[in-house]
Structure 1
């Protein structure tokens, strides 16, 4: 059993390590709705946040309190009032919001203080600091409706939050703001989190939500047959939002998406919609290649490009397992460094997930595509075809009329993509002299239109 565990743990940990390194010293703003706390998710969320912070991430946590305020209002026999989805905060509602915020802040601070044995929080010391970091202004009178103590963010105390983060503390914000005259205003968690993320130019804005993410077909009620779109370019997110106008119901497509779009347009590179119903969803979204929810990005994070000397280490790490099992011919670091200009790679978030090299034989008007490799984590997502197409483009640009591959195990993959088997004698003379007759690789050729 321990041997099996070792074989699964070691590759997993190696795959996670680049993200741990990448996110160290980055700033994440995390929005937790009151619904997640009401659903009993707080203890596990706090453990995961403490774990992420222990790996060097600077965290600003913003909590919501919608259901808690409504519960307080019901207890006082007072009806919750909304207009266009925004709460009208009268004196009673303001009192209820202050009570709910105080109770939730106490629960969150207590949860971060529990260094429970046999949990990720064992031995952890997480300092939680709250403060009057948000200056607010009143919503005022809209459509003839006086929103009274409901407010909007006017200003974020960036310097104060940064000083607190620099101390190694986690910053906890309630959806409250104060005017310069000391008047309190009830805000929304989503607006506070978005405004803070933009003001800090945070690296990530993460919403833990009632929905699993944005589906590939947002208005199709096909359930699990309609998969989650794990990476949504900003332009596509705006297109979806145009068909699903911003709503004030958290389960509607546009509710969280409007804030993700606003954050991305405000300079936050990545905004995430993550289901709080899935245990460990924060960890899965941050440290696993494709995550679990939807990430809105200002541009495609996945980069298909020619390799540079800085990529040698990543290419070696990618191809090493395939060299060990005999799928690829072993290449030394010196060879890859020498030939690095021949390589094309796919990189995602600084990690190389696919590569291939093109070695031209101009005298024969052909070229060899070698070392085509796709990480096991990314297989089945079309990365191999993307690299193949780029290699074909490079070959055409060089004036080559065909490309060929030598393979012992993946012949059918190439045949499905237009390659034809030929005899090894077909090879250009220079390549034929290096052909390993003991390996007995199959030679396949694709003519370029």
Structure 2
């Protein structure tokens, strides 16, 4: 397929995400290291694109490397305790100046409008101000943190007014007290509190690393908050990776629906994470009351109760208890409070690198949500693990739902040979397939 057609297909497949994100509020942390990445101009272009798509953006800036350079140039000591920079009075002005320089750099980049560039005619409006109210950290375990502080509150009302008027809001890692003092804050804390207090739809953190990795080196594309907490307590992560993941978990626990970790060193990482199914980093979700898992023999009774009404209507082929027990390793289920509310099965045809999606069923009491999509995603994941390239199904009632999820009608001759021999012409099922 040509590059032009690849682009067309990508753009078409991204449209559901564009519709889903329009009008939503995203808080995005841009650390100081990102400004020094070769991909920084791409990040600016991506932010401009999100703004043009109607996404409300709150940017939080960090400045750690820039501050370090200023302090080094003045031969001043740098001290970190408990993940926070100790800020003596004689370093505060240097920190403010370094932070201001980063803010100006960001605002300058977001103001570009050169012809023949992604910023042409962007006309972004960027606002900053005293939106972060802070208080001092004080003395902790005998350590005086000086002018290092923590977020007291975010002026959400003022920020909402600016967002409503199509402004992009820029929050520095500096906070201000009612007594007129300036405090140096951890950028991750500002981003977390902004996401929480603004009731943002997403917290997105740029970092040097791509995301969270399994112990075998493979990247985790989606992670439940409880699993993220386990990683925080059981693994020796770098300080920056630990801080970023901790911020994501804290925001999720405070009812921010999604948090994302992506690398600032990959061109287009933000767009890939938001507008493709595979993503580019790690997404952290809240723990669900429901659990998608492999089925076991104890689930057979619940599965039979779930499938029986659909079998009686002729929507599914009847399966005996014995057959379900023998094929239980083919099934995945969604369990809610001990009850099986949905299931699906995968039957691989490994010679043809193909798999059959079968017996996808959701309890009538739990339809209208995304459980069908969750099952489909689970089956697709299992198929990919087996190295299958195509997923097919036979259906008599739900053709439109599968078409909406990327399946296309095909012929009996396209089925694996073994499945062709078992095709029931009396049911006259329609056949659909999807390339994985």
TM value normalised by structure 2 = 0.71
Greater mean alpha carbon deviation, residues 131-140 or residues 116-125: 116-125
Q: 1:302 to 1:34 in 2, by over 3 A?
A: farther
Corresponding residue for 1:152? 150
Counterparts of 2:162 and 2:372 in 1: how far apart (Å)?
A: 29
Give every structure 1 segment of 4 or more consecutive aligned residues whose post-TM-superposition deviation is greater than 6 Å.
Answer: 300-306, 344-353, 382-385
Cα offset for 1:341? 10
The 8 Å contact of residues 31 and 189 in structure 1, kept in 2 or not, is answered as: yes
Residues 302-341 of structure 1: matches in 2 within 5 Å?
A: none
For residues 169-213 of structure 1, give each alpha carbon's deviation from its aligned partner in whole angstroms, at most 9, with x where no partner exists.
000010011111011100011010001001111111001101111
The 8 Å contact of residues 153 and 195 in structure 1, kept in 2 or not, is answered as: yes
Q: How many residues align?
A: 348
Counterparts of 1:172 and 1:350 in 2: how far apart (Å)?
A: 39
2:423 is equivalent to residue 432 of structure 1: no
Counterparts of 1:94 and 1:263 in 2: how far apart (Å)?
A: 29
2:254 is equivalent to residue 266 of structure 1: yes
Corresponding residue for 2:331? none
Counterparts of 2:199 and 2:154 in 1: how far apart (Å)?
A: 12
Q: 1:349 to 1:57 in 2, by over 3 A?
A: farther
For residues 399-424 of structure 1, give each alpha carbon's deviation from its aligned partner in whole angstroms, at most 9, with x where no partner exists.
xxxxxxx9432326xx6xxx7x7566
2:220 is equivalent to residue 229 of structure 1: yes
Residue 160 of structure 2: which of 155, 159, 162 is its match? 162
Residues 243-322 of structure 1: matches in 2 within 5 Å?
A: 243-244=234-235, 249-250=239-240, 252=241, 254-299=242-287
The 8 Å contact of residues 113 and 120 in structure 2, kept in 1 or not, is answered as: yes
The 8 Å contact of residues 203 and 260 in structure 2, kept in 1 or not, is answered as: yes
Cα offset for 1:227? 1.3
Counterparts of 2:371 and 2:151 in 1: how far apart (Å)?
A: 32
Corresponding residue for 2:105? 107
2:414 is equivalent to residue 409 of structure 1: yes
Counterparts of 2:232 and 2:427 in 1: how far apart (Å)?
A: 59
Corresponding residue for 1:70? 68
- Unaligned runs of 5+ residues in structure 1 are 221-225, 307-326, 328-339, 356-372, 392-405, 440-449
Counterparts of 1:51 and 1:434 in 2: how far apart (Å)?
A: 47
Residues 10-409 of structure 1: matches in 2 within 5 Å?
A: 10-217=8-215, 226-244=217-235, 249-250=239-240, 252=241, 254-299=242-287, 354=376, 380=384, 407-409=412-414
**What SS does the corresponding residue of 1:408 show, helix, strand or coil?**
helix
Greater mean alpha carbon deviation, residues 290-299 or residues 22-31: 290-299
Counterparts of 1:175 and 1:118 in 2: how far apart (Å)?
A: 34
Counterparts of 1:388 and 1:434 in 2: how far apart (Å)?
A: 15
Cα offset for 1:246? 8.0
Counterparts of 1:62 and 1:28 in 2: how far apart (Å)?
A: 11
**What SS does the corresponding residue of 1:380 show, helix, strand or coil?**
helix
Counterparts of 1:423 and 1:303 in 2: how far apart (Å)?
A: 30
- Which protein is bigger by CA-based radius of gyration? 1
